[in-house]
Structure 1
């Protein structure tokens, strides 16, 4: 049989034994008359995994089909398959990791970021005419999609356990995401990491802790970096600072603010202290945040806002003088801040770069300076997670593992079964971060749709459902 001259490029002849040649992969003319569908199996593929581009509804009486990788307007051939002889030929974009099947599907092994993009499947009938052209876009997700381990760039964070504490209670300053190559860590009372404010330090090499000048006798430092405060009093209110030092001498700082409930206290302050409150406490990117100042003194002379805990011009956002009722913007002004005469400051369209500690410095008529700090938390909304299941069809008494993958860090994971919160049984096990669900052994009642919901302090997203079938 002779291949139509419309299909063959001028000057090319059929390759030995094949009705179509590799040259067709760079010069096929197009037409589209048949509805062929292509789906990615699995729907989301992570770097290093294998993916099958599964073709369905191929027309009958085909002579051959071919796969192309399209980059912008160029058409690049991967491989073609002659159905009459069950032979294949590779094209210029064949990497050695692709396998063609007689049903039209294409398997790509060990995918990389270079594999993402538009793929085209073309079919030709026995008359030598192109009868279909079908395209799909393959997305390859990076290793940012994780389960059970923090992203490599995750910084140390501190969680208060419990979130609220009354006088006389205990509170744990629980540390997350310590660097793997930790050399030492230091705890400080306040926002500045200097020796006189040091509570304690831990040296990893000798597995030893040493108390500092600010140790009150009510603190205990653990090997995992967490700090326990016993029998807290109102004077414990304020910021605490953790500094980590890695073996490569990289230092990281994390802060946490402790608020002690003194409603039942017999102590009282002789004068109201200036405090700052963030509204909302946790903001999503793009929101507005108001830093509300409480207890501003009546004899105010001026106040200054800094994007730092240090009083330097490079961090100054603004200064306000009551005498002339005027605001002067500083070097750290981003054009998104508004300062009010009551001391409060509005930040518009916040980003993650705006997160951190802010300081207001207040000057009264006696030239007495008072400082107050506030921590601004800004989070990106989470992206949609997805579930990978070890097998979608299992038999009773076997086991199955469902894994929730997310691109986000600092998240909580919740499992959903048939649109309701999953009720764990003795046959179900969650990994420590709850990203992996194991059912062993499986029973008929475990059949149904599973989803996972990821959330942070500002948003939540739920995965598409995955259906598990259970056979006898």
Structure 2
């Protein structure tokens, strides 16, 4: 008899009898002092591997717990454990532990789903329900950021776009093994603000309520808007979703100037805005966040090293009427603030490359905000290439990994000193640091190189490696 038929059957719940029997043998009560959580080990699972659903904070003095596949359907039971009788019910593919954890062996694509753990009291009533999602990968890119070591950032190209021209929002430090991403108009990720989302596995875009017909989503996470108008100016949010179902967000501001043509100099319009000088700086240099058209009749203005008005990210506050400057932490040792609202940061490092916010308060207690972002570049170091061979279903594949200590760089590949074309057999990871060739052929033999390039244009190529 299968596990599902033992755990659950139409019109009846045979495990309820087990729970009620257990309740006669114990007077234990369920503790709810800590929330139950589930951790996947490994967090990124490949077909053929085993995965452990490791349970944290399972209460003591339980009567029973059960695992189900899905979030709401109780008809697909996987495993049951009755505490008092030490009864385990599961199939040969699972291993169930008394601490609530569940091991599933030899994972396949059919196992991709939500998994739910439920705990029960002595009356066979559900006390807690905890779910997690299992994503099954055909293979894993072993380069880039599995775990967040550097947050994604967005660069607007050009930084200030003339009205009627196009703008591209390019992503840096995007994670590997993406599930998908979504773009929103504004600072929040509400449904009515969604421009569109891209699903990596389907290679398709789905557009949302904020889509105007002029936006195009790229498979690398980028967003391109054509024929920009003043209505397009403002903040945009990117939400990136990984295969572990964890998400990250990044923000960018599009600045539109109606009086700026492609051949003209930077803006002199009446709009309150900030320009970084330079936009990309070397480590140790200074960056001036130059304010244009600071609002008049101000009481004060405040700089923050974040998108939001959060006290923990405050840099400096300048009281205009009293001419009082209040610095926070180490910024006072390497910063200068000016009466026109501009901020000078000296001796910048990579940690300073982020979004900054200037908030103003006038005598009518009207608050206005402007945002700015700059980048910090280090000389890139020479990368190197690693090679991994594999055989899946009798088909041989090879994976090349471009290993570089630098972040925020672009990567491209060379084959026999020529640009490597991408085909159905030849695929790249989201950051292009991984190159995979499936069903390898004789013509794939040769020399492979990767080239890393910084935003400042500094480039380094790896030594060529020959395969096979």
Relative to the length of structure 2, the TM-score reads 0.50
Structure of greater Rg: 1
Relative to the length of structure 1, the TM-score reads 0.49
